[in-house]
A and B are shown apart, each in its own frame.
Chain A
Amino acid sequence: MTLLSIENLSKHFSSGGRDIAALKDVSLTIADGKTLGLAGASGSGKSTLARILMRLIPPDAGTVRFEDEDWLTLSGSELRRRRAKIQMVFQDVLGAFNPRATVASVLGDPLRIHAIVPKAERPKEIVALLDRVGLPASYVARSIREVSGGQRQRIAIARAIATRPSLIVFDEAVSALDVSIRGKILELLVELQEERGIAYLFVSHDLAVLRAVSHRIAVMDAGRLIESGPADQVIENPQSQAARALIAAVPRLVIKPTRDSVHDT
């Protein structure tokens, strides 16, 4: 079933002589419980799309249907109530948290604001969320600055699933993590999706990451959506020039000497 459907979304920025069509007539859909990977060159409009979905900025034109409602016209208490259903995880998690926040407040706030569980059950729910992302209960009292980058990303994921969303938007959420931690986070995300049926919009410039978690992949270029399809097809048989260029540029691990890896220095 279609969970989210975006139609003809456009967004334009102009300031200081710059005039940028960040989104041009973009349409796409995301199915219940499935992952759409979103790739595209830097500046192609991926974060703009994510920010419009989160209702952080309005589009110039276009519609978004989410769970059979007109998502962009929801307002006031209705919007507040429904907002729990779309969550987001950013690349720069530290910047997205209040620096004085503790792990308990980061997870407790959404539970309180969206009245997910009765007050008396909140501490138990926080511990259960931590446990679900592989962190010990003893972390509740820690400041958000006193955990490593990988742990902070787990806490951001715990916060995102706290409100029992049906869609989570990840914007370069694993880009800053090293391979071993990134692999574990990706495994966790896939498990959570299977267990809870959450759909993901997964923005990443790392095509290997998108290949690992996406059912479908869409590619943007200069504000337009230029290609989309099942993940394996887009990666193995890209149709557009932009997608081909992105795939060709993925760094290959050079272990044995090959002709093009030898330095001419």
Chain B
Amino acid sequence: MTVLCRISGLSVVYAGQPAPALDAVDLDILAGERLAIIGESGSGKSTLARAIAGLLPSGARVTGEMEWSAGHPPHPGRELGFVFQDPSSSLNPVLTIGEQVAEGARQHLGLPWAAAYAQAQKILEKVHFPQPEKALRAFPHQLSGGQRQRVAIAAALAAKPSFLIADEATSALDMVVQAEIVALLGDLVKEADMTLLFITHDIALASGFADRIAIFKDGRLVEAGPTLAVLSSPREIYTQTLIASHRDLSTSPLIKEPAS
């Protein structure tokens, strides 16, 4: 696989902050891979995503290198799709769902409104949105949390980006829909040669579908490598702790249960 972006010594310090949010990170993003970024709250995952997308707030100090194989960073919205962590803040409350999803296809693919609308409906179907033809006219506040998150994913996919950054993009979805969205993104990676940077705190989710995994803690890259290799034989104690603290259906409950 060829390198899409070579990140070396990347550090980010937000304005007025004493400590860097991202500290001397070296990481290659390979073209056409599914790369999962894992790490606890505040470890710098979203900062990394915003740095790659060129979306850091003004005043943030960035040092280090990002070399793009294309010679320039991908064009946001067109080549680069971004699903933000908090869907309620990335959706515009006064635009309909149809307008927000169609916008990408209209602006970046040059489709007329009617065609962009038709495409929006198709993408909403793909993200398993119920009654998409009716949802086109709804506003964000009329949707459930998981429905809003699917609108944000649809909007990011509308312009058919070759690189998608998904920041906790499935955290508000039930597991059935989550699995379907992850499969959809996997298909886009395979069929449309999309590169996927998938940020999640769910190590089990990442374990099932990422090609490679990168573990972050306190702004630093702890370790990175092929998913199975990192999770089966973690080199770092921190990775071992993360694996050990994973809770699944067989973990014993925290409450005292009556014998039933």
Inter-subunit contact B211/A265 (CB<8 Å): yes
| Chain A residues, Cβ within 8 Å of B248 | 208, 250, 252-253
Q: B230-256 CB contact bits vs A (8 Å, 1 = yes)?
A: 011000000001110111110101111
Q: Measured between alpha carbons, how far is A59 from B84 in the docked complex, in Å?
A: 33
Q: Measured between alpha carbons, how far is A180 from B260 in the docked complex, in Å?
A: 30
A-B pair count, CB < 8 Å, reads: 173
Given contacts A95-B88, A177-B201, contact A183 B247 (CB under 8 A): yes
Chain B residue nearest to A34 (CB atoms) is B255
Q: Measured between alpha carbons, how far is A172 from B174 in the docked complex, in Å?
A: 11
Q: Measured between alpha carbons, how far is A207 from B247 in the docked complex, in Å?
A: 10
A91 partner, pick from B145, B175, B228, beta carbons under 8 A: B145
Number of chain B residues whose Cβ lies closer than 8 Å to a Cβ of chain A: 59
Given contacts A179-B246, A211-B253, contact A42 B177 (CB under 8 A): yes
Q: Measured between alpha carbons, how far is A181 from B242 in the docked complex, in Å?
A: 11
Q: Which residues of chain B from 106 to 157 have any CB-CB distance to chain A below 8 Å in the complex?
A: 130-131, 134-135, 137-139, 142-147, 150
Inter-subunit contact B203/A253 (CB<8 Å): yes
Binding site of B, secondary structure by majority: helix, strand, loop or mixed? Answer: loop
A108 part of interface (Cβ distance < 8 Å): no
Given contacts A149-B42, A179-B201, A252-B248, contact A205 B173 (CB under 8 A): yes
Inter-subunit contact B249/A15 (CB<8 Å): no
B192 part of interface (Cβ distance < 8 Å): no
| Chain A residues, Cβ within 8 Å of B207 | 251-255, 261
A259 part of interface (Cβ distance < 8 Å): no
Q: Measured between alpha carbons, how far is A232 from B259 in the docked complex, in Å?
A: 10
A231 partner, pick from B147, B251, B253, beta carbons under 8 A: B253
Chain A residue nearest to B177 (CB atoms) is A42
Inter-subunit contact A231/B144 (CB<8 Å): no
Inter-subunit contact A41/B247 (CB<8 Å): no
Inter-subunit contact A249/B251 (CB<8 Å): no
| Chain A residues, Cβ within 8 Å of B251 | 208, 211-212
Shortest beta-carbon distance from B182 to chain A in Å: 9
Q: Top 6 A-B pairs ranked by shortest CB distance?
A: A42-B146, A249-B175, A178-B201, A16-B137, A251-B204, A253-B204
Kindly list 13 other residue pairs between chains A and B, CB separation below 8 angstroms, not including A208-B251, A215-B255.
A16-B137, A16-B142, A17-B137, A42-B174, A43-B143, A212-B255, A251-B179, A252-B207, A253-B203, A253-B207, A254-B207, A255-B232, A256-B232
